[in-house]
Chains A and B, each alone.
Chain A
Amino acid sequence: DTAVSQTPKYLVTQMGNDKSIKCEQNLGHDTMYWYKQDSKKFLKIMFSYNNKELIINETVPNRFSPKSPDKAHLNLHINSLELGDSAVYFCASSQFGRYGYTFGSGTRLTVV
């Protein structure tokens, strides 16, 4: 039973399109995150939600909009995709905030 699951695993799309990535955790954690891993494997936080409330919003273009319908789900919608958005996007969750993240397997987004 996957603890943090993301769908889809791969996403190839054209510039200008809108796409969504879904994340679900079955660990009962209160906090969920989106991280972006670039081509050099650098991991950078984008957003965090605690009990459906947006807590962290790093300097991310407003084309990226997270939504948390409940504390087990955190989705990421991206409008007007650009080539530079190509990366692996990781969802993570934790019970004790910034301690002990559990990451999903990632969504590899390729914008062509």
Chain B
Amino acid sequence: QQQVKQSPQSLIVQKGGISIINCAYENTAFDYFPWYQQFPGKGPALLIAIRPDVSEKKEGRFTISFNKSAKQFSLHIMDSQPGDSATYFCAASVGSSNTGKLIFGQGTTLQVKP
């Protein structure tokens, strides 16, 4: 119940294409869903986040779609660029604000080909 399942494990997209990464969860107590981007040799960095009372959030080329009834959310990267090549993690948050934690999906390695 504390898991977040992420797919696909890896993804290759042509420059200009749309990258889509999906996540699913079981625990309805999760109430905050961030996405993190990690480049080799670096720590994960917060990309975009959504709360379950919103169905979609867009920031630039990055959009989160959230389906509360299906307990699924996804990251869409529009007009994918080679600089977007990185590992992407979805996450879900549970617990009170100071005692809670983030539970991460397994990660998706994205390669954008020029």
- List chain A positions with a Cβ less than 8 A from chain B: 4, 30-31, 33, 40-45, 48, 50, 55-56, 90, 92, 96-106
- Is the CB of B63 closer than 8 A to any CB of chain A? no
- Is the CB of B93 closer than 8 A to any CB of chain A? yes
Contact of B32 among A44, A56, A98, A103 (CB under 8 A): A98
Contact A43 B89 (CB under 8 A): yes
Which B residue sits closest to A56, measured CB to CB? Answer: B101
Complex CA–CA separation, A99 to B99 (angstroms): 11
Extra contacts besides A99-B49, A101-B102, A106-B42 (5): CB < 8 Å: A41-B87, A56-B99, A97-B96, A103-B45, A104-B43
Tally inter-chain residue pairs, CB-CB below 8 A: 70
- Interface residues of B, CB < 8 Å — how many? 27
Nearest 8 pairs of A and B residues by beta carbon:
A103-B43, A97-B97, A98-B100, A43-B104, A97-B98, A98-B93, A41-B107, A50-B98
Complex CA–CA separation, A42 to B97 (angstroms): 23
Distance between B3 CB and nearest chain A CB, rounded to angstroms = 11
Distance between A21 CB and nearest chain B CB, rounded to angstroms = 13
Distance between A12 CB and nearest chain B CB, rounded to angstroms = 16
